[in-house]
Amino acid sequence: MALKSLAPFGSSGSPARGADPFGNLRHDIERLFEDVTRGWQLPAAFRGDGLLNPRVDIAETDQGLELTAELPGIDEKDIDLSLDDDVLTLKAEHKAEKEEEDKKKRYHLVERSHGTYLRRFQIPFTPAAAKVSASFDKGVLKVSVPRAAAEDSKARKIAIGKAA
């Protein structure tokens, strides 16, 4: 049997230029894993990027925007909340370390985990940046973003000057 007859890429016996003979198999396997794991909340270690998504509730009211975020295991000092123009950014660092030791059983265990919560929210109105407030209690962050005062929308006369 000729080696040429085993080649799956046409009669020439060689793969097309740039073709990956295992590309279709890899694509099918990746699609299978995506289908099986769809909807699972995998820990950050499995996602590989170290970013965690906090659960967030957002409500828009006549006064502004109310945001509630669950940040379990986070200390208030590790939360960074900022407003840049009309984008609210929530960033928090999660660091945990657990150490166990049992000299009778001769084991010593140290576990560390680290991750970053990061979410950005586009504010659908002009916020009153100086009046934004936030509180943090028992792992729940509450943020209030009030609307900027409406500008005077009355008609006004605009003077026309001479061109320079």
DSSP track, 133-164: EEEEETTEEEEEEEBPPPP--S------PPP-
In angstroms, rounded to a whole number, what is the distance separating the alpha carbons of residues 17 and 8?
14
pTM of the model: 0.56
Hey, is 4 helix, strand or coil? helix
pLDDT, tens only, 25-54: 888 888 887 777 666 655 443 444 555 677
Q: Could you give the 3-state DSSP secondary structure of residue 94?
A: strand
Domains contained in the chain, CATH given = 45-146 (2.60.40.790)
- Please tell me which residue, 123 or 24, carries the higher pLDDT value: 123
Helices within the chain (DSSP H only): 23-37, 44-47
**Is 146 within 8 Å of 127 (Cβ atoms)?**
yes
The burial class, CB within 10 Å (0-12 / 13-18 / 19+), for 44 is: middle
Give tens-digit pLDDT for 94-126. Answer: 777 777 777 777 777 777 777 788 888 999 988
The two most distant CA atoms of the chain are separated, in Å, by 94
* Residue-averaged pLDDT of the chain: 75
* Residue 65's pLDDT band (cuts 50, 70, 90): very high
Residue 152 has what pLDDT? 44
Adjacent-strand bridge partners of 102 = 107
Neighbours of 61 (CB within 10 A): 10
Structure tokens at 69: 């975020």
